Chains A and B, each alone.
Chain A
Amino acid sequence: DGGITQSPKYLFRKEGQNVTLSCEQNLNHDAMYWYRQDPGQGLRLIYYSQIVNDFQKGDIAEGYSVSREKKESFPLTVTSAQKNPTAFYLCASSELMNTEAFFGQGTRLTVV
């Protein structure tokens, strides 16, 4: 089936640890995105990538890092520098920038 797969669904992290969230798509899309959602709020853009080996900071990039070494993969690392990492993280992709975007099922990260 074509789609966007995020893993894991739930993730628990101790304070001070880095953690990597996976996002894979088999839609052959060039553009990929990471968003963060806090309870009762909308989605905020963390990073986006228009094409392989290129990525740009979004509105809330501090404390996060990404890579785009393969077209189908866009992993997000939440570093220990992120002050409040507990949130719902959503990955998306689109054929090109500004075309219809599709979302994965999300990863719920909890810092314990």
Chain B
Amino acid sequence: GIQVEQSPPDLILQEGANSTLRCNFSDSVNNLQWFHQNPWGQLINLFYIPSGTKQNGRLSATTVATERYSLLYISSSQTTDSGVYFCAVGGTGRRALTFGSGTRLQVQP
């Protein structure tokens, strides 16, 4: 099946810093989503982005499907950005989402 790798696994930032999270995947995809998991376990939808670039406030994402990667940018980070960020992809074969292992982000005041 499709493999999803996220990097870095852990990231510690000072409030106000910028960061880039990466998601590599092993096959063609029809669906790519970024989620933020809060401390209570809730998965919050950030982006649905099988290709192209999107922005939402301080967050933006880019997916280059031909090169099989996606990037999530967080600018001017805040303590409320802390949590785990997951990338998940749906391929042409098995179309349910396959998740990466996540990037655990800690933003310190």
Which residues in A have some Cβ–Cβ distance to B below 8 Å? 33, 35, 37, 41-45, 48, 58-59, 88, 90, 92, 97-103, 105-106, 108
Contact = CB atoms under 8 A, between A and B. Distances in A.
A88 B38 CA distance: 14
Contacts of A98: 30-31, 90, 95
Contacts, number: 53
Contacts of B97: 33, 43, 45, 92, 101
Contacts of B41: 37, 88, 90, 105-106, 108
Given A98-B31, A100-B48, A45 B98 contact: yes
B31 A102 contact: no
Interface string B75-99: 0000000000010101000011111
A106 B31 contact: no
Interface of chain B: mostly helix, strand, loop or mixed: strand
A101 B30 contact: no
B33 interface: yes
A42 B42 contact: no
Given A90-B43, A100-B45, A103-B42, A42 B96 contact: no
Interface residues of B, number: 22
28 contacts: A41-B101, A41-B102, A42-B86, A42-B99, A42-B102, A43-B88, A43-B97, A45-B96, A45-B97, A59-B1, A97-B90, A97-B95, A98-B30, A98-B31, A98-B90, A99-B31, A100-B33, A100-B45, A101-B88, A101-B97, A102-B45, A103-B35, A103-B42, A103-B43, A103-B45, A105-B40, A105-B42, A106-B41
Contacts of B96: 33, 45, 48, 58, 97
Contacts of A42: 86, 99-102
A106 to B, nearest CB: 5
